Amino acid sequence: MRVLLLGSGGREHALARALVADPDVSDLHAAPGNPGLAAVAATHPVDLADIAAVTALARSIGTALVVVGPEAPLVAGLADRLKSAGIACFGPGRRAAMLEGSKSFAKQVMAAAGIPTARARTCTSEGEVVAALAEFGPPFVVKADGLAGGKGVVVTGDLGAALAHARAAGTVVIEEFLDGPEVSLFALTDGATAVPLLPAQDFKRAGDGDSGPNTGGMGAYAPLGWAPPALAGEVLASVIQPAVDEMRRRGTPYRGLLYAGLSLTAAGVRVVEFNARFGDPETQVVLDRLASPLAGLLAAAASGSLAGAGPLCWAPGAAVTVVIAAEGYPAAPAKGDPIDGISDAERIPGAHVLHAGTATDAAGRLVSAGGRVLNVVGTGPDLAAARDTAYKAAAVIRMRGGWYRHDIAEAAAHGLPSPLASQTSPTASQTPHAVRDAGGGPAASSPGS
């Protein structure tokens, strides 16, 4: 099977790593890719916003399956164009992808399907925003209705900050606050059948102790030893399958990866959000544990034959990923800093490094090219061992200004969920670990510097 993987981040590098391990994949291509992906796939410098160019690339290389990593091309209708060209695509069509493309639409689907979620109001004017904030009270939860790169949500006790975010975002969804540990559950679906993957937990705040500003995610781990063993089955029955059934009832069957962001509250599981693609950085640990060949599963979802795929197999043990970020992330990440030490990190047993925001400069050096630069993955027989491996590997990577949190999966290694994220948008954060620069000198360590 020839596969074309779309995207350029750590999630896509994790997908590529799983795809090349599948004996049914004879040839892997990636667009636009990154230096890490280039080591395992033929890369093509295509703009994913150019749907015609992506379709032409898929046709020219004769791909049997296109796997879409990021959400924006899905919301723009890429999967529809590929399917109309007779090319199999793992990812929902434009109307189905609105489960992520519009928070308001997702709430409508949840209400129609009876899916448990927070009470919410969709607001298009400042008067509606003020009324909704007063109705739900602090902590205030304000979500931009459309795509925002994982950064469209503000949770704060400051009414002024909540109003400012709503003004900047335009149409917003304002919700009641959900109090409980958050969990991510991915499910493959072909529009009728849904198969859950391993639950994972990620860390959104920049600083240790869940302090500092929100980010795209600073680390993740799986499995969740503290969670109820029946969690995946419960979520499949109460959240995933009802959503799939409702989308099919609406005439917009959902085929691809349905990501449910969940809060495990005292009253039970509640949906925080739906996403239309693999989550980042949770994919990096979930796929590391998947022992079943990936390409066949994705092809079955794309073709409507997932019911015959059989039960999934999972590797024993655990995986932890630690994100190494650039100086200034998330506000203004620096770019162009040389990166060294990846080969040293990967010589540590049980460790591997995924490229998330890297490039090659004119001199041929590997340099930073995004806010989240590398994902260091550690594996082991349990979370404590996996965590130890991940941090040993992260410690040998060198990049000026690079930094990372040092408490990823710390509580979970002792059988506890992550402490709840700070709900007040703090102005200060605990200092994360700094990465040595490529020349061996000191590195900056403040996530806001």
Residue 425: what pLDDT?
Answer: 36
Query: What length does the chain have?
Result: 449
- Judge: domain 180-308, CATH 3.30.470.20: yes
Q: Which CATH number does 2-90 carry? A: 3.40.50.20
Distances in whole angstroms, Cα of residue 236 to Cα of each of 98, 100, 168, 310: 20, 18, 35, 16
Identity of residue 152: G
Between CA 200 and CA 288 the distance in angstroms is: 12
Phi, then psi, of 336 in degrees rounded to 5: 90, 10
Between CA 9 and CA 20 the distance in angstroms is: 17
Between CA 309 and CA 333 the distance in angstroms is: 42
Question: Does residue 449 have a pLDDT over 80?
Answer: no
For the entire predicted model, the pTM comes to 0.94
Are 84 and 94 within 8 A, CB to CB? no
Q: Is 245 helix (H, G, I), strand (E, B) or coil?
A: helix
The CATH H-level (homologous superfamily) assignment of domain 119-175 is ATP-grasp fold, A domain (3.30.1490.20)
Q: What would the mean pLDDT of 77-92 be, rounded to a whole number?
A: 98
Is 160 exposed, middle or buried (CB count within 10 Å of its CB: 0-12, 13-18, 19+)?
exposed
Are 410 and 395 within 8 A, CB to CB? no
Are 111 and 250 within 8 A, CB to CB? no
| Runs of H (alpha helix) within 39-185 | 51-61, 72-75, 78-84, 98-101, 103-113, 126-136, 159-169
Q: Rounded to the nearest 5 degrees, what angle is found at the Cα of 217, between the Cα atoms of 213 and 219? A: 120
Identity of residue 28: L
Distances in whole angstroms, Cα of residue 185 to Cα of each of 192, 260, 267, 279, 339: 18, 5, 19, 9, 33
Question: Does residue 433 have a pLDDT over 90?
Answer: no
Identity of residue 207: G
Q: Where are the domains of the chain?
A: 2-90, 119-175, 180-308, 318-434
Identity of residue 423: Q
Between CA 10 and CA 395 the distance in angstroms is: 19
Question: Does residue 199 have a pLDDT over 50?
Answer: yes
Average pLDDT of the chain is 93
Give the pLDDT confidence of 10-54 residue by residue, as tens digits. Answer: 999 999 999 999 999 999 999 999 999 999 999 999 999 999 999
Under the banding of pLDDT at 50, 70 and 90, the label for residue 420 is: low
Residue 439: what pLDDT?
Answer: 60
Question: Does residue 126 have a pLDDT over 70?
Answer: yes
- Judge: domain 318-434, CATH 3.90.600.10: yes
Distances in whole angstroms, Cα of residue 340 to Cα of each of 260, 343, 397, 400: 36, 8, 6, 10
Q: What is the DSSP letter of 132?
A: H
Are 105 and 98 within 8 A, CB to CB? yes
Residue 245: what pLDDT?
Answer: 98
